[in-house]
Homo-oligomer: A and B are copies of this chain.
Amino acid sequence: MTRAELILQIQNKKSFLCVGLDPDMGKIPQHLLETEDPVFEFNKAIIDATKDFCVAYKPNIAFYECLGTKGWDSLEKTLNYIPKDIFTIADAKRGDIGNTSTYYAKTFFEYLQFDSITIAPYMGEDSVSPFLAFEGKWAIVLGLTSNKGALDFQMLRDGEGRELFTQVIRKTQNWGTPENLMFVVGATRSEDIAAVRNLAPDSFFLVPGVGAQGGSLEDVVRYGWNKDCGLLVNSSRGIIYASGGEDFAAAAQTEARKIQQEMELVLTAKKFI
């Protein structure tokens, strides 16, 4: 999917919501566990319920991988079920050297046909660039994550006082463009979103941490907005586990619609729609 198509979708749906498809076997409603493919049945119901309110789906690959080949089947069926005009993100946090990264890229871009994949930057350019060589596909590089451990290394400062995450943003931008490169920028450190926006004015940010992890949509927009919106705000647990009962899909729809309506107010206020 191109950047222009993504922006058009945001305008059409009046939303920049990404829904995390993280099917935890310990949390999937009981009645689905008796079906042949609980993970796919869960995702299918969530997609049906939320597809009008979001512009992206983000399966975290850990939840599928832990089920072995059955999990990969469920993931493939899920990808095939997601409407083609919705942006898809493999939250895989991969990163290896050269041709090995190319194999990861082939897995997610060609075999599973994801639009994008999240990438860990620690190994540098030759671990990131292979993902940028696929036309119409995106690398989403971890910049500043929303977890407590982000403080351990991402916030380390160099001799000039620049945090590592800002160095990652600075350097990584030379390897791609705002047409094939996004950044993960957590919502829990909202002032730092401003620093990243300053360094990467045109890039889209994938923003986790709104809701369950404590970040606010208001702050994300205040610090992260750019002229093209530039934001994909993710919610996983807050939507997909809004109810643990048989009404889980309806509850997910209610939550997704609520967030979409907040986003519509933002987009209107920003005169983006």
Contacts and interface: CB of A to CB of B under 8 A. Distances in A.
Given A122-B121, A153-B167, A60 B111 contact: no
Nearest to A118: B96
26 contacts: A60-B96, A62-B101, A62-B103, A65-B104, A68-B111, A69-B69, A93-B95, A95-B120, A97-B145, A120-B120, A120-B122, A120-B123, A121-B122, A122-B142, A123-B142, A123-B145, A123-B149, A124-B148, A124-B151, A124-B153, A126-B149, A152-B171, A153-B167, A159-B159, A159-B161, A164-B164
A69 B73 contact: yes
A188 to B, nearest CB: 11
A243 B232 CA distance: 49
Interface of A: 22, 24, 60, 62-63, 65-66, 68-69, 72-73, 76, 91, 93-101, 103-104, 106-107, 111, 120-128, 142, 145-154, 156-159, 161, 164, 167-168, 171
Contacts of A120: 93, 95, 120, 122-123
